[in-house]
Amino acid sequence: MRFTPSPTAQQGLAGHLKVAQRRAHTYETEIFLSASHGAVDVRGRADGYDPVRNQLEEIKTHRGDLNRQPENHRYLHWAQAKLYGWMLCRDRELTELNVALVYWDIGAETETVLAETYSADALQAFFEAQCARFETWAAQELAHAEARRRDLKTMAFPFGAFRRGQRELSVAVYRAARDGTALLAQAPTGIGKTLGTLFPLLKRMGEDGLDRIFFLTAKSPGRQLALDALTHLTPRPSLRILELTAREKACEHPDKACHGEACPLARGFYDRLPAARTAAVEAGTMDRHALRRIGLAHAVCPYYLAQELSRWSDVVVGDYNYYFDFSAALYMLTLQNEWRVGLLVDEAHNLVDRARAMYSAPLEGAVLRDARAAAPKVARRAIGDVARAWTAAAAPANGNYLARDDSPAHLHNAIKGAIVTFSEALDQQADSFPPDTLRLYFDLLHFFRMSELQDPNTIFDVAADNAPAVSKSGDTVRPTLTLRNLIPARQLAPRFAAAETVTLFSATLAPSHYYRDTLGLPEATRTIDVAAPFTAEQLQVKLTRRVSTRYRDRGASLAPIADLMAAQFQARPGNYLSFTSSYDYLDKLADTFATRHPHVPVWLQTRRMDDAARVKFLARFEAGQRGIGFAVLGGAFGEGVDLPGDRLIGAFIATLGMPQVNDVNAQIEARMQTEFGAGYDYTYLFPGLGKVVQAAGRVIRDEADRGVVYLLDDRFARRDVRALLPSWWDVETV
């Protein structure tokens, strides 16, 4: 709730210049200073020095009420200024010095000067104390790095031998890391891709070729697989392993505001952080359970403890957004610390859609309505300006879908003004802003930031609003306005370039040029397609030409598909998964099946399933049990689910998985056609068939498994579709 957008780098430079212009002609700027103490070398550039007043100045730009500045920020600013102070005293043989913090308000264009006079001896003592603390920390970190290097050099592959295909994958990952290149690795499910990619990067870290490894996943089960794989390493290496969890899942007090005046785990956080951090790094594996235990023991927030530990960890396991998002912490730390990072992107076929969402900015009409109803008086006028600009921006659509290359200037200006108003008001009365109003503020801020990227593959669109919703007050809810990213390549390319090596892996990364193009991978990216360790005898793949699951044909398809599923179940009773294109189709197919074949147990995936419901759904797939679970393709159970042996013996896939034909996808298709000359394939065919292969991959998990997959649509017989199915499948037409 205390968040205020800090000045940009450009605004900071402008602020420094304006302060300097107010000084006398003898004022010196950008003074290079350096000094040493023991093994520590310190260097930097002081912002300004006035020799007439003998005053060294450290300039900081800000916006809003300076009295609300966090104490720990002010402490750091003084520490920086005093370090420069000693180095200046030493260089110019000064016996004392005036040290000043100059805070420049970029909005009001006013400066606040806080000055203290120090003797050179006092500044020297402060400098040496900080160097000693740093040297102690550095020695600890160097000792940890040496122990890590020693342990990783002697570490052997767990379980003795590689699985078939796993060694080939590991060798390719190691060579990419050694050569500092990117790798697209398509490898079948069941060969142990998680361990097969982690192990070679850990060996490379043991050769001092990497500083950090980031294992990034699309979904929670992928994080757990990585953590489990790391527990099998022997001998146990000296590794600090960190799991990053979303704030809403880690928060201990969701009913309280996220600052020290409201939350007991935020109050005094930095006072108790060192002890909590020490306990965490000594634990080694810092998963969400360990962090919660340590956080509560030291009365600090587990979520923010994890964020702080990102700087101290060797292997970080977390969601894609921690590295690829617009303001991703791991990416920023990589740049700031010049880390040599090994990046592992699990189930990488998901990254295209996820990145599109990261670099899109929707403004939902319902959010505006709710914010306006609850807003404090100080924010109402700004919200009203945004509402009028919103209406004007949507008017040309006339209730239909509208797309244009950029957002209207009047909307941009109204949002900019609202952000300034909100920021100033939050400085004064943050606690008076209800959650609905704060959400609008953050949505506007994200929209404004995205609009400043000026990406040619981002459009502004207005959602079709043929049946507008009406609020309780009778107000019509305005349609959603979106800055929509169509191709995320330009945003992701710098993040790949910042890593020492990148491996994107999945069972479905074909064709590779689709992922290279849409993700912005380097031209020199290598590819590997690991042969499956399975045989056609293990998996029966049956294709039916007499069923169509096209939208217009779905009603007629229900009974034939239900009867085919029942016949297969009768021939070989056991656990099966059925995949459809939507929840609506799922419900209709499940109802038809239950009506025609009531003796077969069924269970259904539902909309907005929480974690407990997902666990319960998967718990039905036990060896010796029988029934059919109905799920949507591309959902929680279409990938990342491991049901070996008799826990799952077959799947029915009643869809090609292709995205819906709608206004938004029409825009994506047109842009893909312009950029790559393959609009239909890049928008529909490649993403859809990837989901099909992922779902089918749930059936065969190891070399002992046997099962069946039904492809229930006549389009699976098309040559271009068959070419995207795994080469080891022997497809039988039935």
Torsion angles phi and psi, residue 631, rounded to 5:
-140, 165
Q: Which residue has the higher pLDDT, 342 or 425?
A: 342
Residue 427 banded pLDDT, cuts 50, 70, 90: low
Q: What does the pLDDT read at residue 423? A: 80
What band does 2 get if pLDDT is binned at 50, 70 and 90? very low
The two tokens of residue 574 are 């056991």
Confidence of residue 220 (pLDDT cuts 50, 70, 90): confident
Task: Say how far apart CA 388 and CA 368 lie, in whole Å.
Answer: 11
The DSSP result for 64-116, as a single string, is S-GGGS-HHHHHHHHHHHHHHHHHHHHHHT-SEEEEEEEEEETTTTEEEEEEE
> In this structure, are strands 402-404 and 458-462 parallel, antiparallel, or unpaired?
antiparallel
pLDDT tens digits, one per residue of 69-107: 878 889 999 999 999 999 999 999 999 999 999 999 887
Q: What is the pLDDT of residue 472?
A: 45
Per-residue pLDDT, averaged over 541-550, amounts to 94
pLDDT above 70: percentage of residues in the chain: 97
The 8-class DSSP code of residue 480 comes to P
What whole-number distance in Å separates Cα of residue 589 and Cα of residue 570?
A: 18
Per-residue pLDDT, averaged over 357-369, amounts to: 94
| pLDDT value for 604 | 97
pLDDT at 422 over 90: no
Give the pairing type, strands 402-404 and 575-580. Answer: unpaired
pLDDT of amino acid 108: 83
CB 163 within 8 A of CB 192: yes
What pLDDT does 334 receive?
97
Give the full edge-to-edge strand order of the sheet including 481-485: 361-363, 481-485, 458-462, 402-404
For residue 4, pLDDT beyond 70: no
Q: How close are the terminal C-alpha atoms of the chain, in Å?
A: 60
What pLDDT digit, counting tens, does each position of 128-147 carry? 999 999 999 899 999 999 99
pLDDT of residue 554 exceeding 80, the answer is: yes
Name, of 263-267, 474-478, 482-486, the range with top average pLDDT. 482-486
What digits encode the pLDDT tens for the residues 452-470?
887 899 999 999 875 445 5
pLDDT of residue 311 exceeding 80, the answer is yes
Mean pLDDT of 663-671: 96
**Average of per-residue pLDDT values in the chain:** 92
Burial 691-706 (b: 16+ CB within 10 A, else e): bbbbbbbbbbbbeebe
81-85, 292-296, 321-325, 634-638, range with the lowest pLDDT? 634-638
